[in-house]
Amino acid sequence: MNIQQNNLYLKNILNTMNEGLLLVAPDGTMLMVNKAFEHLTGFASDEVVGRPCTLLNCDACETTLKKDGPSWCSLFETGEVVKKRCSLIRKDGSCLAILKNASLLKDDQGVTLGAVETLTDISELERLNQEVHQLSSQLQSDTGFHGIVGQSQAMQKVYRVIEKASVSDAPVIIDGESGTGKELVAKAIHQLGRRKEGPFVQLNCAALNEALLESELFGHMKGAFTGAYRHRIGRFEAAHQGDLFLDEIADIPLATQVKLLRVLETKQFERVGDHRPISVDVRIITATNKDLQGLIAHKKFREDLFFRINVIPIHLPPLRDRLEDVPLLTRVFIGRLQSRTRKKITGISAEAMDRFINHPWPGNVRELKSALEYAFVIAESGMIGTEHLPPYLVTAEDQSESNIFAESHKSDSEKVALIEALRRSKGNQSEAARILGVSRVTVWNRMRKYGVDVKRVLLP
């Protein structure tokens, strides 16, 4: 077998590999690539052979490329790179997460002939890791309608809209007060929709400044700004063929709103620091607890973006408007806390439940859950009583009872004063008004309110 045959067999063997492989000359020129490399990167062999390996824009090179020293790359000094997690840029501009191994090739005398690198695609592993993280956060949300608890008419209406929204690719906007469960609704839409096999990616737009928000949404190239030491895939790219949930959409800066609108209109975007357009297939779900119409009136939110995202609106009612769901929510949360804490809590007393039913819940379902978590810390076993509730709940109820008593006392005093004034004025309502220091209309209204009859008042 001659050398030419050996090279042919070697090439065939390399082309059977699942990992991408490339041979690099000591000066960084790519000498050969296999079929898997072509498939992973989108570059054909004749497009890369003879060109520098930096063509791939691998962000691992941030730590290996050198400006001075005996070699241009630290690989040729250290001799190997083992399981380096990094990313490179495909021919179409998309990012590929890879695991890189590299080693030097030397002859019998120890002279370096070049380097061999293998590239393992770990993009599916990255996606699965993200999915595991999302599923872990949903482990406590397996009760009710896809994790949403409530049987009231108001929630039944929400469920019907969710089911209709899930079969569409149109943008959905969820509005409701903080703590009403907007994230759960977004996840339910994804789980019921045709994109359920794709990724569900979410981002809280209020948590980041403008520069970081754009990087999170669209990704960035290595070196795009200070601290950008590697390529980063943005949320849009990560959500390709799935759903992207943007929470607190009202807090997006106006400049970013323009770029977001462009993505929704063209289905394309550019990474920060790059000019190549990237196409994506993403359905947008947004959420807010603010009045977008009011923000539009004050020039703080773009009207054209509002029309783009406000195709299927879903309103989540506050808990105070569906208090009939409080007992069910309480049972569900107690069940989850029992499993998590192993405490022998058997339920909640009638008095404590009465406090729950009469509380306005400004923090909505999140506040109810926190109140029960507090109770589980305080109570050792048995029933949760009022003594186990957060102090503000007990104080608020006592204050409410005090207010009722004060109102009753005020009404009694007001009625007695009215009768006395009418007696002193001998039934003259204008004179009674002067005595009381109010208008004649007020006297007349109070007479109706308390059922005061002048004739009876003047009886001896």
3-state SS class at 244: strand
Nearest to 390 by CA among 400, 403, 376: 376
User: Cα 4 to the chain's mean position, in Å?
Assistant: 58
Residue 266 contacts residue 213 (beta carbons within 8 Å): no
Q: What are phi and psi of 220, to 5 degrees?
A: -150, 160
- Strand ranges for 55-178 from DSSP E: 80-89, 95-106, 112-121, 172-175
Residue 348 contacts residue 384 (beta carbons within 8 Å): yes
Nearest to 389 by CA among 361, 348, 360: 348
How confident is the model at residue 7, as a pLDDT? 61
The set of residues, in sequence order, having a beta carbon less than 8 Å from that of 78 and lying 6+ positions away, is none
Query: 282: which strand partners?
Result: 242
The Cα 228–Cα 59 span in angstroms is: 10
Ramachandran sector of residue 62 (left: φ over 0; alpha: ψ -120 to 50; beta: rest): alpha
How confident is the model at residue 233, as a pLDDT? 82
- H-run or E-run covering 314: strand 312-315
Q: Cα–Cα–Cα angle for 391, 395, 397, nearest 5°?
A: 120
How confident is the model at residue 244, as a pLDDT? 96
How confident is the model at residue 312, as a pLDDT? 94
The Cα 30–Cα 117 span in angstroms is: 11
How confident is the model at residue 184, as a pLDDT? 94
Residue 288 contacts residue 249 (beta carbons within 8 Å): yes
Per-residue pLDDT of the chain (460 residues; tens, 9 = 90+): 444 555 667 778 888 888 999 999 988 899 999 999 999 999 999 999 999 988 888 876 644 555 555 555 767 666 677 778 888 888 888 888 888 888 888 888 888 888 899 999 988 877 776 666 555 544 444 457 888 999 899 999 999 999 999 988 899 999 999 999 999 999 999 999 989 999 999 999 987 888 889 888 988 777 666 666 677 788 999 999 999 999 999 999 999 999 999 999 999 988 887 778 888 899 999 999 999 999 999 999 999 999 999 999 999 999 999 999 999 999 999 998 998 888 889 999 999 999 999 899 999 999 999 999 999 999 988 999 999 999 888 875 555 544 544 456 556 667 777 888 888 888 888 888 877 777 777 788 788 788 888 777 776 6
How confident is the model at residue 405, as a pLDDT? 45
3-state SS class at 444: helix
DSSP letter, residue 275: -
How confident is the model at residue 1, as a pLDDT? 43
How confident is the model at residue 139, as a pLDDT? 45
DSSP letter, residue 385: -
How confident is the model at residue 182, as a pLDDT? 95
Q: What are phi and psi of 313, to 5 degrees?
A: -85, 140
The Cα 352–Cα 376 span in angstroms is: 13
- Strand ranges for 58-190 from DSSP E: 80-89, 95-106, 112-121, 172-175
Q: How are strands ordered across the β-sheet holding 30-33?
A: 30-33, 20-24, 112-121, 95-106, 80-89
Nearest to 112 by CA among 23, 11, 7: 23
pTM of the model: 0.63
Q: In Å, what is the CA distance from 259 to each residue of 27, 365, 391?
A: 41, 34, 47
How confident is the model at residue 317, as a pLDDT? 94
Domains of the chain: residue spans and CATH = 3-121 (3.30.450.20), 126-317 (3.40.50.300), 321-389 (1.10.8.60), 406-457 (1.10.10.60)
Nearest to 158 by CA among 136, 142, 182: 182
